[in-house]
Structure 1
Amino acid sequence: MEEINKPKERDDFVVFAGIRPDGKIEFIKVYAISEDLAIAVLEQFLRENNIYPSDFIVIQKGFESVKGKEAITTRSEEELSATLSRLGLRLVSNGILYTKGRDKIYQITAISKDLLETEMSKEEKIIEDVKFNFSKVGLPEKYSRRLNLLSLMEDALILNRAELDVPTIIKNSIEGRISIPRLIEVEGIIIRVFDEEYHEVKGSHLDKVIVKPPVIHWDAHIDSIEDFSFKNIEENIYSAPLFLKAMGGFLILTEPPRDLVRMLLKMKKRGEVKVTLNGRRIRLPVNFTIIVDTKYPENYSGLKFPIRINLPPFDDDTFKQVLSKALGVTIPTGVLPMFPEEYRTFLGVEIIANLWRKLTKSKNKDSIELLREVAAIVSGGTP
């Protein structure tokens, strides 16, 4: 590979560095057209500048949008330059990277352990706020009123006989922002907390990320219990389990095993998790809100939840209201008894509406006839 430090125009990679007035490098960011190239460039840059890899920590990596950018230069990175300037660092680069119409470029960002330690020791007050706005999702008032209890940020058990898509409703209703650490370092062990899959970024600092309050969903029917384990991704570096990634937000568990819920409740009561990683026993603080989403509350009898929310199936008025809204037509009251009781739920209406739309495209019938046909289909009768 060519000499990394040589300034030039390129179409495959570029390196940015944040340096002290004395020339010490404290920050490195590599943009490259692939992950493998980015890693190779970073490794060679460290060698050329006599930097020990163990003195730096990768705080972020992955594809970054460059849509609309013809080139990546120090001028295009004004926000990064301003951030580094506040830290007493000057942004320099080894040239220009032309994007050649690409929408995204892979990047790796690493900072020195000295800089990370300095920044983590600073007390910077960040205003945090978590709230719900259920008016955005159009729930019937009696359901949104009950779900508003979640704004108390206390563990909750939801008896979901209404078959509401609780994770989606909460994700679409939650507002505000919180601060989470990019990573936690304890006794040489690094736990990566920030995860682009789960966290919606609102702002960024070197050691912290401002995110929308996370709403992380785990479904016992399709997800793995391994999601609650620390996963080794590099030497002394681990990916955080879901309960740490849900820091400051909600961990929604659909029909979870009782033992898992009991473990998480006990962990929260203690305020920390104890874990042995690489032979070292470490303790990590925990701060998340548990929501158990279930139709079988008896599975969790004896477990203490500060909040219990009952979401009952629809009565006639609610069924008519929700179904009429879903279909975009006025539903005659006399048609409602044709539908089985088990379809008087949010999921039931979703199924009815899907069948309705398909029949509307294929059959030339009026709305009442189609509705009767849908009722016959879902009840197992003859259309």
Structure 2
Amino acid sequence: MEDILIPKERRDAVVLIGVDRGENVEFIKVYAVSEEKAKQTLEEFFSARGLFPGDYRLVSRGSEEVGERKAITTKSEASLSASLARLGLRLLSNGVLYLEGVERIYQFTLVSESLYRRITTEKEGDVKEEPIPEFEPLDVLSLGVDVLVENLRGIEVAELLPPNAVLLKEPPLEEVYELLETERDFPVVVETKDAGRYSSLDFPAVVRLPPLTVEEFAAELSERLGFVVEPERFLDYPPERLNLKNVDALAGLVKALMAQKRFSPEEALSLAVRLNLGGP
């Protein structure tokens, strides 16, 4: 049953959780191929983590169409991750749920009683204020305006652009200046790791995406490898290495060492981390 806590590739159900700094589970979301499987997975998760169902409140349940999604991961649930981050919670999962051949999925969403009280109390305190529409920084990419993106997180910016947008990665300053001064019917999005290079230019919007934390980096790597990777391994990593692209690169290196050199997961991971940092 403890297998449910191990991040790995899954075909029937996945559990997404929001944890606070003390690693307390404050949020739970289960996606499954059926309602019965969702219930079973939730029960197994409660048992494996030693949690009590009575400490949580069901806030949402039901089925939804898969649509264009090919898998459910912490990366694909960017909006959920952002919402939890605003509550001081970190999104984790027990792997990747692949959706090939699946048309509808069922979900349960639960929050702890303490988080529920906190949310409802905050809402009651904000009754007199004008409602503020939810808007994530990356949502600006869909508005059709020129944007400068300092992407230290390593997300795929191209996947978030409207069809007619032009994406330039680390372009020369002069080229960007000329484009911004030219009349055109398309927005320009400049992706860089150093927004300061373009500080002399007047972009309507500047989006800064910070590096992953070591906890986020370890969680993403665990998800790709199918076994738990401790965040402590990356305490010495420079910020520029803590990004999603390096997660993919490191995961590929670990898998290659395991497949071609027959290293154990621990041996492959230890060597891959050293090689990834340029060590002996």
TM-score, L = length of structure 1: 0.37
Which structure has greater helix proportion? 2
TM-score, L = length of structure 2: 0.49
Query: Larger radius of gyration, structure 1 or 2?
Result: 1
Relative contact order, CA 8 A, sep 6+: which one is greater?
Answer: 2
Which structure has greater strand proportion? 1
